[in-house]
Structure 1
Amino acid sequence: MSEFSNLTQKPPEEREAEDYVGLFTSFLKNFKDRNGDFKYKERIKEMISREGKSVIVDYEDLISYDAHSIELIENNPVESLEAFGNAVKEIVSEIDLEYARKVPKFFVRFNGWSKTLSIRKISSEHINKLVMVEGIIVKATPVRNKLYKAKYVHVLPTGEEHEFEWPPFEEELREELEKPPYCPICINTLTEDELIRRRFRGVIKLKPDKSKFRDWQLVVVQERPEEIPAGQIPRSVEVVLTEDIVDIARPGDRVAVIGIVRLQKSGREDKTVFTPYIEANNVIVAQRVLEELKLSPEDEELILELSKDPLIRRKIIASIAPTIYGLWDVKEAIALALFGGVTKTSPDGTRMRGDIHILLVGDPGTAKSQLLQYAARIAPRGIYTSGKGSSAAGLTATVVKDKQTGEYFLEAGAMVLADGGVVAIDEIDKMREEDRVAIHEAMEQGTVSIAKAGIVARLNARASVIAAGNPKRGRYIATESPAENINLPVTILSRFDLLYIVRDVPELGKDTSLTSFVLKTHEKAGYVEPDIKPDLLRKYIAYARKHVKPVLTEEAERIIKEYYIELRKRSSEREDAPLAITARQLEALVRLAEAHARMKLKPKVEAEDAVEAVRLMNAVLEQVGLDVETGNIDIDTLMAGKPKSIRDKEVAIIKTIKEVTQAGEECIKFKELKKRAEEIGIDEETLDKILRNLRRSGEIYERRTGCYALS
């Protein structure tokens, strides 16, 4: 029978502190890893060398050393953790006595635990038990200094002073700071009669400068989106971090928290209802999505086997929203966004994003919302939100004040919570202008900066944005530019790598095929068997994002370079030629090619990947980057909101107004302006449009009805 099992059989009241310390000291000293090394002796030495005070103990090691230890620690966490810390101190004393004296307290932090408890299942049976919960940090206070051992001075009427610590012995202050009811020194030195006479005499004062404080932080951990039952709101639990685990994670991080379930009063003091919170022993940050999915060796074998299929690309694309007919290029773009390019950081710290952003704009009933919902569902880390119901704070981050405690929390929004994954924003055109501005930084830099209520922070928001919106007038008007059709500023439009116009145009052949597909889907109760099941596809994507970092080959570089140079060359052939492509699209081509290589788990970006990236980009430029007047590709249609042909005409009209007003006229009448415009090839309809745009931008104004002047 083991030492641990002997101890677990004793009633708690018969267990001595020395029993615990001896057992845990034995484990730390004697445990050997597979190589025969004394694992925890080495970890303690490493802790001393970095001047730390915590040792990480792996759950698997504890259970392999003695399974009874888990039950002991789980049911008596306070005594066990205290004893584990004392055991560490004993071993440190043997190695470096001076360091052991310097550090008042050592800690053992557990890495993993027996089983994960759902946040919504925390109940009264878990009070004062050690548990592990998983979730997302949605709020965090700044780090505070918490008083745990107060130094008081008792000033007697005679002027004599007694200094003492409170609480006495090994106890620590809990939540409330209460003045000591007596002076321990007086009790020890006075007779009973003197104590009764002088009990309430003198003044007891707190001395903060001589009291003991520790770092303290409160965070709120919420259930992960994929774990929330349908139709229910997410549950959360407050977690208290102390000592060297404060600031270990930020809002938006996915974490596993190991700690003791405690109780705190809910609201008024006289209420009998208490709220559970967790006193953290350790916080493990899930750095990678793969860690959250917990891929088994069998999963990895299946993924690698799947990647060898010559039709893997087609199967992945066909598995994106299989109940939606057609839209092959759109589905491929969404697949590429799910896999993503490779994020790079230059030596000077500049980040080159690997996240691919996609925008779908189209007529009602073209399945845009369904595509977004499916993308968020299939992503290893995905969040779906509607632009109409999203504020700037809800998308990025904000600072909120807790009504009960008065504490300020940093609260993460959708883009921060989707860090490392995908955020799907439906009806992005319905968002308020001030809310849309908030996602600029997140889309390009992959961060969210905030400075409010004394909290200055920068949170990671490295998420691909897949957004959808409707045209301004209900349906897309082919004779107008995308910027004129879409109620989005060009600063947002230009940040999307690919923009697709999804139109509902009557076409007999297409409509016949669509009808057959929809009716067959209804015959099968709405279910279409995908080539790759959603759960496996999610794991495949997660594996690719972690393990595959494809590098451009010379052949792929040549194809991308030739395409880019060719389009730029067209722009330089004539002085008045529009700009066909910019460096922003060049970077997008690289990301698309990398994502295409990732789909096949390839270590290199080959020619076929570059060719497909060029095909997708060219198709988008010919659809949305086309100047409807000249028929030429003009990237300013997207980047600046208007093609060069329109800008040139605006400049000509401004020049005409300027010439007339400089000649002494107050303004130029519309009739005269129309005559001069026709001389340079601008018809009346185009002139009306230009005047509206110039008035809207504040460059001209109507001095009186039908008479225009420069602002």
Structure 2
Amino acid sequence: MASQVQNNKDYNHLLTIWNDYFNKPAKETIDLQDNVHNMIILFYKLFQENDSIIEYQHTPNLIECKIDIQQLFKLIDDGEQLQSLFINDPQDWINSISLAISSLNNNKKVICRLHNIPLSKKLASQDIGKYIAIMGTIITTGSSKLLLERACFVCISCDEYEKYYVNSDGSIPKVNQCNKCGSSNTMKLDRNRSDAVLYQKIKLNELQIEVELRDLYVNCFMSGDEIIVHGIVKTIQDEQKSSLYVKYIQAYHVKHEQINESFTRHEIKTVNDLAKSGELFYALINNFCPSIYGHEIVKAGLLLSLVGGSTCNRNASHCLLVGDPGQGKSQLLKFAHLLSTRSIYVSGTAVSQCGLTCSVNHKNDDTIIDAGALVLADNGVCCLDEIDKMQSQHYALLEAMEQQTITLAKSAVMCQFYARTTIIATANPAQGHFNKTKSLIENLKIQNTLLSRFDLIYLLIDEPDMERDQKLSEHIMNFHNMKTSRIKFNNTDDVKTPNAYRTLNERLHSNQINQELPYQLMKKIIAHVKNIKSVLTLGAQKLIASYYLKIRQTAFGMPITSRQLESLIRLSQAKAKLCLRQEVTEEDAQFAIDIFEESRFDCFISGLGNQSTNKKGQASSINNSKNIGTLSKPKQTQIFLDELHKVSLQKDSYEFSMEELKNTARKINLQVGDLGDFISKLNYDCMLIMRGNNVYELNYKR
């Protein structure tokens, strides 16, 4: 190292600010046998000639310097020896660089931030004292405080002062004698002259390790942020056990994590070929959770939820899977969890409200905020399995699902966290199996305020079907025998049926793509397409608007609000993204309408029992007297109002006498108990408006 330094040049002026960076006694002259002195001179000369490798950030009180460590190694001739010194004693390295840069900038205070070193997957005892880089999600944030770095002691005899670094355990050193006048017991701590920095503790979930933030990094990060930390691993003695030490990282460089999913050339060709042929979206559906047979509509909806839209309010499209046990809901949920680059999986049987949102704890006069699942899944997916088991926590989801934030106001702490997460949940019926004679709310015991926030709700019912059960058994056998062949659907009927009259399920069945995509590639595709900003074309806008106005006028049982309109926009944008398009076409809008209609049909019309479906996939009106009495009360109400509307068209009047209402009820075999109470309830709900003399007007404008 000494050979790199010119002996004939005086560098003694570099030692004038030695005490600002080193907790060691200063020497009066440069010692070429001292490795630290040699490093200071080397960096001083290096930065004089290569100032461009330093990224400066000037503030009124200090200079922040970010340096790529790999570029620095390339500029040093004796790089291997310096790398060895950096690994063994990074603190001297950082202090030497800071002192050298400070000398080049009029001795102004400098903070050196080194970055771009390989990430560490785990921490061992050998890593103590080394400079490492780790990546993790913040689960705990502490309050900001002032940390004393150098204590200033003033002699009451000679009025001279000296500064001493605090001890490694954070305690203030004891100074009894003045070095200027030699007086004993005259040194007094002067807090106003002492050097202090802002200080904050955070905790990462991956390695469960605390990180100390200082200076400009304090209050810059929130719970749920994914960050990459460069710093020195240190230890501190445990407060309760003197022989126990706890590891922590003193951070020098912190930045938000940027996930870069790089594609290989073969993967790029595969994706581009599928996109050009218009088969990418269908290939993703066919490769989504291959262990589950069928459910193509559900898989398509889950893909749209994972991608989300590009709207101003919120991009998340929430999805709920409801149905009988054994239908593969949990497996579909776990596969969606696997495909997201940032995802949290939570079981409804073992979660609290604080576990979903956030909590406040007090430790040693410090206020600590612990993040919950919704905050940790910010800009990702939160998978809630068996959401029906967490009824007391349902209200905690309302704000996060609509406003995409979590507001905390407890224990004298008021703050707000981002929760821009997509919620994908599963639920089982309260009685074990879905009861078609009851509504969805009665089956799940979930309030409508929560259900209305889901963009898609799918109902999976276990019904005997000989052909489907045979294919399902073959699929399961092949899967367990590790056979890669897929079940082919019989599309002979689809060939005869024009595409315009096919249901969505038939269209998805007819697009069986043989291209196999591993889940790692699917994960890259989803991460890539999420960043696409898709815009609706004029044709797509008109199609969605006309459909929204139509269901606003005709919907009974399911409330239709502006939320459904925004859902349609997000779903159409997600469909365009999955086809690698920036423009939402009419085809994308129609697909969004079809998949929305399928979920709406399943949830609110499934109680019709043996319903029939026309060629366009819409529910046919059923007024068969043999079926009406077996339906739930909301379904019978809907059919009763539909029948009144037909009668009103025939007689060209919306007014009905009580006798006409009774005749209509008998005609469809309405079984709702006392008919008078039923009519009074419809009057209270403004569906039938009483005009006097037992005359009611149907408030049903189509």
Q: TM-score range by the shorter chain?
A: 0.7 to 0.9
2:301 alignment partner, one of 333, 339, 346: 333
Q: 1:253: how far off?
A: 1.1
Q: Is the 8 A contact 2:307 2:526 kept in 1?
A: yes
Measured in 1, the distance between the counterparts of 2:279 and 2:665 equals 53
Counterpart mapping for 1:243-642 below 5 A = 243-268=215-240, 270-271=242-243, 273-286=244-257, 288=258, 290-291=259-260, 293=261, 303-344=271-312, 352-402=313-363, 405=364, 407-433=366-392, 435-524=393-482, 531-546=516-531, 548-570=532-554, 581-626=560-605
How far the C-alpha of 1:24 sits from its partner, in A, is 2.2
1:112 counterpart = 2:106? no
TM superposition shift of 1:52? 5.6
Given that 1:149 and 1:165 are in contact with CA atoms closer than 8 Å, whether structure 2 keeps it comes out as no
How far residue 147 of structure 1 moved from its aligned partner, in angstroms, is 1.4
Q: Does structure 1 residue 164 correspond to structure 2 residue 161? A: yes
Shift of 1:48: 3.3
Q: Give the SS at the match of 1:622.
A: helix
Of the three residues 81, 88, 91, the one matched with 1:75 is: 88
| Cα pair 1:627 1:643 within 8 Å, conserved | no
Match of 1:180 in 2: 174
Q: CA deviation at 1:689?
A: 14
Amino acid at match of 1:276: K
The answer as to whether partners of 1:139 and 1:251 remain within 8 angstroms in 2 is yes
Q: Map residues 123-138 of structure 1 onto 2, 5 A cutoff.
A: 123-138=124-139
Q: Secondary structure at the match of 1:125?
A: helix
Say which SS state the counterpart of residue 55 (structure 1) adopts. strand
Question: 1:550 is matched by which residue type in structure 2?
Answer: S
Residues 484 and 5 from structure 1, CA distance in 2 versus in 1: closer, same or farther, beyond 3 angstroms?
farther
1:216 to 179, 195, 199: 199
Residue matched to 1:238: 210
Cα pair 2:53 2:68 within 8 Å, conserved: no
1: CA distance, partners of 2:40 / 2:267: 42
Per the TM alignment, residue 519 of structure 1 is displaced from its structure 2 partner at its CA by 1.8
Q: What SS does the corresponding residue of 2:152 show, helix, strand or coil?
A: strand
Q: How many angstroms does 1:252 deviate by? A: 0.9
Q: CA RMSD in A?
A: 3.8
Deviation for aligned residue 1:526: 9.7
- 1:188 offset after TM fit, Å? 3.2
> TM-score when scaled to structure 2?
0.76
Alignment deviations for residues 555-591 of structure 1 (CA, whole Å, 9 cap, x no partner): 21122122112223446xxxxx777632111100010
Letter aligned with residue 333 of structure 1: G
**Alpha-carbon offset, residue 65 of structure 1:** 2.1
Query: 2:400·2:420 contact (CA, 8 Å) conserved in 1?
Result: yes
What are the equivalent positions in structure 2 for 1:644-659 lying under 5 Å apart? none
- CA contact 2:138–2:222 (8 Å) conserved in 1: yes
Match of 2:43 among 4, 20, 24: 24
Cα distance in 1 for partners of 2:296, 2:553 equals 31
TM-superposed CA distance for 1:687, in Å, is: 5.1
| Cα distance in 1, alignment partners of residues 210 and 155 from structure 2 | 37
Task: State how far apart, in whole Å, the 2-side matches of 1:426 and 1:329 are.
Answer: 20
The match for 2:10 is: none
- What amino acid is the match of 2:103? E
Unaligned runs of 5+ in 1: 32-37, 94-99, 224-234, 345-351, 572-576, 634-640, 650-674, 695-711
Q: Bigger shift: 208-217 or 619-628?
A: 619-628
Distance 2:416 2:552 in 1: 37
Judge conservation of contact 2:323–2:461 (CA < 8 Å) in 1: yes
The 1:644/1:524 distance shift into structure 2, 3 A limit, reads: closer
Question: SS of 2:475's equivalent?
Answer: helix
CA deviations over 1:641-685 (Å, ceiling 9, x no partner):
995986999xxxxxxxxxxxxxxxxxxxxxxxxx9x989969775
Q: Does residue 91 in structure 1 map to residue 104 in structure 2?
A: yes
Cα distance in 2 for residues equivalent to 1:13 and 1:275:
37
Provide the rounded CA distance (Å) in 2 between the counterparts of 1:241 and 1:295. 35
Structure 1 Cα separation of the partners of residues 377 and 6 of structure 2: 48
Output the TM-score relative to the length of structure 1: 0.75
Structure 1 residue identity aligned to 2:92: E
The aligned residue for residue 142 of structure 2 is 141
Unpaired segments of 5 or more residues in structure 2?
8-30, 487-513, 612-617, 620-631, 641-658, 682-702
In structure 2, how many angstroms separate the alpha carbons of the residues matched to 1:211 and 1:622? 71
Instruction: Report the Cα distance in structure 2 between the residues aligned to 1:475 and 1:627, rounded to whole angstroms.
Output: 14
Which secondary structure state, in structure 1, belongs to the residue aligned with residue 306 of structure 2? helix
Q: Using the TM superposition, give the Cα deviation of residue 294 of structure 1 relative to its aligned residue in structure 2, in angstroms.
A: 5.6
The reply on whether 1:150 has 2:151 as its aligned counterpart is yes
Q: How far does residue 525 in structure 1 lie from its aligned partner after superposition?
A: 7.5
CA deviation map 1:192-223 (0-9, x unaligned): xxx6xxx45x7x65443443211001111121
Answer yes or no: is the 8 Å Cα contact 1:148–1:174 preserved in 2: no
Q: CA deviation at 1:87?
A: 2.2
Secondary structure of the 1:188 match is: coil
Q: Is the 8 A contact 1:4 1:72 kept in 2?
A: no
Q: Call closer, same or farther: CA 1:249–1:5 in 2, change over 3 Å.
A: farther
In the other structure, the counterpart of 1:347 is none
Q: Deviations over 1:331-378 (max 9, x none)?
A: 11111111111142xxxxxxx111110001101111111111111011
Q: Distance in 2 between matches of 1:467 and 1:207?
A: 59
1:54 to 60, 64, 80: 64
Question: Matches of residues 667-682 of structure 1 in structure 2 within 5 Å?
Answer: none
Name 1:348's counterpart in structure 2. Answer: none
1:143–1:215 Cα contact (<8 Å) kept: yes
CA contact (8 A) 1:84 1:107 kept: no
Segment of structure 1 superposing worse, 476-485 or 360-369? 476-485
Alignment partner, residue 658 of structure 1: none
Q: Does structure 2 retain, via aligned residues, the 8 Å contact 1:382–1:422?
A: yes
SS of corresponding position for 2:550:
helix
Matched position secondary structure for 2:104:
helix
| Equivalent in the alignment of 2:685 | none
Residue 248 of structure 1, CA deviation: 2.7
Pair 175,493 (structure 1): closer, same or farther in 2 beyond 3 Å: same
Structure 2 CA distance for aligned equivalents of residues 502 and 530 of structure 1: 27
CA gap 1:300/1:180 in 2 versus in 1, 3 angstroms: farther
Match of 2:694?
Answer: none
Which residue identity lines up with residue 421 of structure 1 in the other structure?
G
Count of equivalent residues: 589
